[in-house]
Amino acid sequence: MNDSPDCPLAGVAATYMPRLSEISFEPGLVAAVDQHAAAVCDALVPAQRGPRARTVRREELADYVLGFTDWLTEAEWTEPAGHDFATLRLTAVCWLIREHDLLAA
């Protein structure tokens, strides 16, 4: 996978990465994003034990993002001013992108 503008991770990061700084001052939103990130990891990574148990791979997260954004399109979702399930999930994806350095060359 490359980091071209049509890469689903690059597009989500460009749109939702700024929300990470917005939520950093609201503990409830931080907790919500953390829960969404855990749910995404659970969907991508089988239950494992050990310190490196949750390795998120770029290709798998990109596939997840494609499926999730396709579902949002089918549901005719529009981004609200606040934080709903979808914005929290996409913000969590950005957190995973940042934490796992998934857009690095």
Mean pLDDT by 10 residues, the chain (105 residues): 65 93 89 95 72 76 96 95 94 95 81
Please check whether residue 85 lies inside any domain of the structure.
Answer: yes
In a domain, 2, yes or no: no
- Domain span including residue 56: 8-99
Q: Which two tokens stand for residue 61?
A: 């997260």
- Per-residue pLDDT at 48: 57
20 domain residue, yes or no: yes
User: 94 in a domain, yes or no?
Assistant: yes
Q: How many domains does the chain have?
A: 1
pLDDT of residue 55: 80
Asked if the structure places residue 3 within a domain, the reply is no
Taking the alpha carbons of 15, 20, 25, 31 in that order, is the dihedral positive or negative?
A: positive
pTM (2 decimals)? 0.85
pLDDT for 47: 60
Rounded Cα distance, 93 and 99, in Å: 10
In this structure, is residue 17 part of a structural domain?
yes
